[in-house]
Structure 1
Amino acid sequence: MHIDEEISRIRKNFFETIKNIKTAEQLTNVRVVYIGRKGKVSRLLREVSELPSDIKPRVGQELNSLKNEIEKNINDISLQFKGGAPEESIDETLPGRPYHAGNRHPLSIIKNRIIEIFFSMGFSLVEGPLIEDDWHNFSALNIPEFHPSRDMHDTFYLEGKDNLLLRTHTSPVQVRVMKHNKPPLAVIVPGKCFRNDAIDASHFPVFHQVEGLWVDKDISLADLKGVLTGFVNRLFGNVPVRFRPSYFPFTEPSVELDMGCPMCAGSGCSTCGHSGFMEIMGAGMVHPEVFKNSGYEEKYQGFAFGMGIERIAMIYYRLADIRDFYNNDLRFLEQFK
Structure 2
Amino acid sequence: MSGPNDNFDPKQVAALDASAIERYVHDALEAIAAATSTAELKRARHDHAGDTSPLALANREIGALPPQARKEAGRRVGEARGTVSRALSERQDEVAAAELEASLVVERVDMTLPVTLRPQGALHPVTTLIDEMIDVFVAMGWEVADGPELEAEWYNFDALNLGPDHPARALQDTLWVDPPSGGKLMRTQTSPVQARALLEYGVPLYVISPGKVFRADEYDATHLPVFHQLEGLVVDRGISMADLRGTLDHLARAMFGDVRTRMRPHYFPFTEPSAEVDLECFVCHGASVGNPDAPCRTCKSEGWIEWGGCGVVNPRVLRACGVDPDVYSGFAFGMGVDRTVMFRTGAPDLRDFVEGDIRFSRSILGGSR
* TM-score where L is the length of structure 1: 0.71
Q: CA deviation at 1:305?
A: 0.6
Residues 193-227 of structure 1: CA deviation (Å, up to 9, x unaligned): 10000111111000011110011000111110111
**Quick one: distance in 2 between partners of 1:111 and 1:176?**
21
Alignment match, 2:355 = 327
Higher helix share: 2
Q: CA deviation at 1:135?
A: 1.1
Structure 2: which amino acid aligns with 1:275? E
Residues 51-71 of structure 1: CA deviation (Å, up to 9, x unaligned): xxxxxxxxxxxxxxxxxxxxx
Deviates more, 1:193-202 or 1:92-101: 92-101
Q: CA deviation at 1:230?
A: 0.5
**Quick one: distance in 2 between partners of 1:91 and 1:302?**
65
Structure 2: which amino acid aligns with 1:235? M
Alignment match, 1:303 = 331
Alignment match, 1:175 = 195
Which of the numbers 134, 140, 144 marks the counterpart of 1:125?
144
Alignment match, 2:281 = 261
**Quick one: distance in 2 between partners of 1:315 and 1:93?**
46
Q: CA deviation at 1:99?
A: 3.6
**Quick one: distance in 1 between partners of 2:189 and 2:332?**
13
Would the aligned equivalents of 1:263 and 1:318 in 2 still touch at CA under 8 Å?
no
Which of the numbers 230, 235, 239 marks the counterpart of 2:250?
230
* Partner SS for 2:284: coil
How many residues matched? Answer: 251
**Quick one: distance in 2 between partners of 1:93 and 1:191?**
47
**Quick one: distance in 2 between partners of 1:211 and 1:184?**
17
Would the aligned equivalents of 2:298 and 2:343 in 1 still touch at CA under 8 Å?
no
Would the aligned equivalents of 1:131 and 1:166 in 2 still touch at CA under 8 Å?
yes
Q: CA deviation at 1:290?
A: 0.2
Q: Which has the higher contact order (CA 8 A, sep 6+)?
A: 1
Q: CA deviation at 1:270?
A: 4.7
Which of the numbers 100, 112, 120 marks the counterpart of 1:94?
112
Alignment match, 1:200 = 220
Alignment match, 1:80 = none
Deviates more, 1:257-266 or 1:321-330: 257-266
Structure 1: which amino acid aligns with 2:287? S
Residues 278-313 of structure 1: CA deviation (Å, up to 9, x unaligned): 011111100000001000012100000111110111
User: Matches of residues 28-107 of structure 1 in structure 2 within 5 Å?
Assistant: 92-94=110-112, 96-107=115-126
Which of the numbers 282, 293, 318 marks the counterpart of 1:291?
318
**Quick one: distance in 2 between partners of 1:277 and 1:213?**
25
Alignment match, 1:146 = 165
**Quick one: distance in 2 between partners of 1:231 and 1:302?**
18
* Partner SS for 1:312: helix
Alignment match, 2:305 = 278
**Quick one: distance in 1 between partners of 2:332 and 2:202?**
16
* Partner SS for 1:178: helix
Q: Residue 94 and residue 186 in structure 1: after superposition, are their counterparts in 2 closer, same or farther (change >3 A)?
A: same
Report the RMSD for the aligned CA atoms in angstroms: 1.9
Which of the numbers 138, 155, 159 marks the counterpart of 2:174?
155
User: Matches of residues 200-219 of structure 1 in structure 2 within 5 Å?
Assistant: 200-219=220-239
Which of the numbers 265, 270, 276 marks the counterpart of 1:250?
270
**Quick one: distance in 2 between partners of 1:260 and 1:224?**
17
Would the aligned equivalents of 2:231 and 2:332 in 1 still touch at CA under 8 Å?
yes
Q: CA deviation at 1:169?
A: 0.2
Structure 2: which amino acid aligns with 1:272? C
Residues 243-273 of structure 1: CA deviation (Å, up to 9, x unaligned): 1111111001111111111333322335424
* Partner SS for 2:338: helix
The answer for unaligned runs of 5 or more in structure 2 is: 1-104, 289-295
**Quick one: distance in 1 between partners of 2:245 and 2:128?**
25
* Partner SS for 2:190: coil
